[in-house]
Structure 1
């Protein structure tokens, strides 16, 4: 039976992809006859795709580009309407929502050192405070974010003008001298700072709050603002870096903000603050202009140097306290930054800030030596006593370089005593694997030096009024706790040549706890709002630490009582300490490896 030639199958066989066999007579094929279908020839002309000319393709590409440009313009032009945020408490000044608007609509910045525009000004409006709960305010805020995912608006709180000026004055006079990682001239007002550095002002409003409830809520909104602008809008400015340093330095807890410390290091590296602003080919990085650094030059400005040094300080502290991240690497350019800050006369606080960096750098080197010894590195072939003498010699040189004014600065001297404690603490670490190889008189000398340094730190703290605790950076509180841990270990250190009773006669740790707790309770009573006071929260931490240490230091002592005269057990106080402290701190107190 003859088959149809290739390409001549009927329409039905062609569509079903079947063999087309012509019947005798040639009227139809076998398949169509069997299925009783009309056998008709298939179309012989194939459909071809139209060929676009070069001009048509160009026009289509231009149309796509126009669409992308229109989309970007619609994104940058998005605005967020103001929303109401409820007041936190009748005792806390009500704060409204800060809306920075679009950068194109912001007014020009003032002509001063803070003149680099990194974000836009806040809309001038007075929010109406409602009586609803805080969850409704946060729900409205989240709805705005979901409806406008690309809005270039900073979400935060805008205080009243007089309150903003008052808080800025408190920060500049009481907080900033203790860790001067930025310079805020007294000529810069809160309104000018809102124009040039809105995120920095928002961070200052957070750290100057004395209410725990208010600070927690503002901190949450602050982190949302930061992540929205840096990760969603991909706009990491110098304003974000300096504001983040302030938030970390006076925030609630280092241990819960490791990711923010890493973000600060990433911003500093992205802005090339720890690297030359000109690459090997001699090309300047114009992108830094868009990031708020300013016009790229061959050298960094003083504010850039302070920021990157502050970033190193905080990252090194977090790394040494909690051991979860690696600190920012120190290099030759950082040495240049430090020398420039020491030689500059722009700010009175620069001298003390530079000394704090030198002390932390010395601690950073001591931690590196400790790690080399643990890893059995080639760097650790020298005896541990040799390293200890070298560190003590450098510490002595730093003290000799202090001016008489710096020797009266509380934050500087506290950092000096803490550095001395940390250096000599290697003689009795929590982890036996970290212990140095010193024995005999040198080992006892190291223990005595640590005892004297820790006692000097505590004596210095007793000279400070409790209200000053609010102005001290967060790292001071951890240094204070670390010195208490050192005294506790020295009081229970088991060594035949070590007189533990003499240690307890030198400084009574239980009396130290009682003095600090009493002072804090008196200060909290003066404020009149003990349930929402940062000082009373610190007081509870001290009570928790005391409850842990008392059984070994004073086993016959009666339990600590509360304000009603009822006994407070260890089980009631330790949770407060655990809420405040990081797990590495608990390991440190309990004698487990904390590194």
Structure 2
């Protein structure tokens, strides 16, 4: 029976000629069956038997003949990446369907998880963050990316900040304070004047919460908001791996003014590195690659053109670099974020003139970052043990001239209205001081005759200190509440250099002239009074209990610094300084409260520079760990 069934096929295959590989007719190729031609015939056996028109098939191996551009193009078969994209579309759709079903079931089982416990950070019950599939056709790999934004209009952070009820009128006043006093100090974000506080809260709840914490004049309320900020950082970012632009901007804000919330040991370095990780997680450190094709959307909604980075994204990435540079200058534990061609392009864009600039403060941010270039390199050199030899600290005058010329170019490139801003002048003078202070690292001139060039360098160094202190004291008291951590670091830097200049004894250097131009103890006293004025003008109310607000304990910090300097001042110079101060009372250690903040000053690198420094080998100081008694 089998032989009878197979015999016709056997006879057909023996009497017909099989088509060559790739030359089957279109009907047989579509039916995926063998194609046999009759000897001397033009139609195949199958088409003849079925009465169909036998048309020769197209082959992918056939080269394109000359002049074939007049012919109609044949339909292009699906490529492997296209078939892969289709399969990934189906896979993503299936995954989303399953997640939505699980979320619906979870909401029905626990309908009031977040609402019932508003003071806690509960689990996420909405599908806010779904990955986007990216196919790299050039390198042949598939990658899952975080979505650009949540798929729903309400972020879980909205639930976290809901426990803080601030009236619209009050929150708008605090937002105006942030625009006026904080953003000029560090313009890490652009908040349009047309945007009110309630709109900002809906769009960026975490950033809004940090702004409310910084601008409230009631310290107890500031500490209460701080607890919520820490819960969001620990639970949402660290535990649940949330990442979006709002969380990153809020983290930058909280870290940049971390001195407002510091208790014992500083945490700015930790938050700065967390901000770096968050920016890398969001992919903000590079341009959007043009070779990527997002396939998490339906095929008809695919973006034909690659999305370009917005000014907000570029500004945020530059703010991360600014944050790491400020952290390095203040605590010197981790070096700044490595500069890249992408960051350079971001800097050029926000530095340029034209309609693409959203705010004039972009020029201020660009100038601050350019100044950080100079101070970062100089600070790295001064704290590299391999460069602290006598030969290494002998900087070439040509290098100093080149750096000063670069600093002058930074200032001249600024718009006219930005050059005179105190927030810019503070960075310009601090950078100039960092360039000129190398003269203090040179061996002291022990000859009887004065070295005129060295005296000029010392005088230029003193002039830079005077310029910075003048720009700092000219800040309006109502705006001084926005003082950035960079400004505190720069102030201590100026005090360190001024202390060295006030105690430097060598031929031709007039210490009386130094004290008449910039009396270090008088400056500390006036700054302490300025801090008290900030409290009074802004109507600040301190918290009850052992923990105080920043400006309530800053005056004690200044008194502690003065007491330490008085103890380390040489005896014969100390008498002259006391005579210049007249009847000003000496700072007593008993007047300084010894809380956790004050007791941990020994671990602050920016303050220990006064006492442990490599500038002058002849000067050796030790920072007392307990109290403030001189050794």
Measured after TM superposition, the shift of residue 535 of structure 1 is 2.5
Counterparts in 2 of 1:58-73, with a 5 A limit? none
**Structure 1 length as normaliser, TM-score?**
0.68
Q: CA–CA distance in 2 between the matches of 1:178 and 1:295?
A: 40
Q: Does 1:337 find its partner at 2:346?
A: yes
1:327 counterpart residue number: 336
Q: 2:419 aligns with which of 403, 407, 410?
A: 407
Unaligned runs of 5+ in 2: 1-95, 130-147, 298-302, 444-449, 616-631
Contact 1:274 1:334 in 2 (8 A): yes
Measured after TM superposition, the shift of residue 337 of structure 1 is 0.3
> Deviation string for 1:150-169 (max 9, x for gaps)?
x9953674232322222222
User: Which protein, 1 or 2, shows the higher relative CO under an 8 Å CA cutoff with sep ≥ 6?
Assistant: 2
Q: Does 1:573 find its partner at 2:592?
A: yes
Cα gap change, 1:523 to 1:471, in 2 (>3 Å): closer
Q: Does 1:306 find its partner at 2:311?
A: no
**Structure 2 length as normaliser, TM-score?**
0.64
Query: Per the alignment, in what secondary structure is the counterpart of residue 325 of structure 1?
Result: coil
Contact 1:100 1:119 in 2 (8 A): no
Cα gap change, 1:365 to 1:81, in 2 (>3 Å): same
Cα gap change, 1:416 to 1:529, in 2 (>3 Å): same
Q: CA–CA distance in 1 between the matches of 2:605 and 2:614?
A: 8
Query: Per the alignment, in what secondary structure is the counterpart of residue 183 of structure 1?
Result: coil
1:227 counterpart residue number: 234
Measured after TM superposition, the shift of residue 329 of structure 1 is 0.4
Measured after TM superposition, the shift of residue 100 of structure 1 is 11
Contact 1:261 1:315 in 2 (8 A): yes
Q: CA–CA distance in 1 between the matches of 2:150 and 2:363?
A: 28
Q: CA–CA distance in 1 between the matches of 2:485 and 2:586?
A: 31
Measured after TM superposition, the shift of residue 520 of structure 1 is 2.8
Aligned length: 465
Query: Per the alignment, in what secondary structure is the counterpart of residue 178 of structure 1?
Result: coil
Query: Per the alignment, in what secondary structure is the counterpart of residue 80 of structure 1?
Result: helix
1:203 counterpart residue number: 210
Measured after TM superposition, the shift of residue 322 of structure 1 is 1.5
Q: Does 1:587 find its partner at 2:598?
A: no
2:133 counterpart residue number: none
> Deviation string for 1:190-227 (max 9, x for gaps)?
22222221111111111112333332332232022112
Contact 1:101 1:153 in 2 (8 A): no
Q: CA–CA distance in 1 between the matches of 2:333 and 2:373?
A: 19
Unaligned runs of 5+ in 1: 1-64, 86-96, 107-114, 124-150, 289-293, 433-438
Contact 2:285 2:342 in 1 (8 A): yes
Cα gap change, 1:535 to 1:376, in 2 (>3 Å): closer
1:491 counterpart residue number: 502
> Deviation string for 1:448-489 (max 9, x for gaps)?
222111111111222223332202222212212221222112
Q: 2:562 aligns with which of 538, 542, 546?
A: 546
Measured after TM superposition, the shift of residue 537 of structure 1 is 2.0
Q: CA–CA distance in 2 between the matches of 1:245 and 1:473?
A: 12
Counterparts in 2 of 1:271-420, with a 5 A limit? 271-278=282-289, 282-283=291-292, 297-343=306-352, 344-370=356-382, 374-375=386-387, 383-420=395-432
Contact 1:241 1:268 in 2 (8 A): yes
> Deviation string for 1:371-426 (max 9, x for gaps)?
6783489x979954333222112112112223321122110111111111122223
Cα gap change, 1:331 to 1:518, in 2 (>3 Å): same
Counterparts in 2 of 1:150-229, with a 5 A limit? 154=160, 157-162=163-168, 163-229=170-236
Cα gap change, 1:482 to 1:401, in 2 (>3 Å): same
Cα gap change, 1:568 to 1:454, in 2 (>3 Å): closer
Q: CA–CA distance in 2 between the matches of 1:168 and 1:287?
A: 38
Q: CA–CA distance in 2 between the matches of 1:76 and 1:450?
A: 66
Measured after TM superposition, the shift of residue 310 of structure 1 is 0.9
Q: 2:251 aligns with which of 244, 255, 263?
A: 244
Cα gap change, 1:178 to 1:257, in 2 (>3 Å): closer
Q: CA–CA distance in 1 between the matches of 2:236 and 2:332?
A: 29
Contact 2:189 2:312 in 1 (8 A): yes
> Deviation string for 1:75-104 (max 9, x for gaps)?
68863234576xxxxxxxxxxx89998556
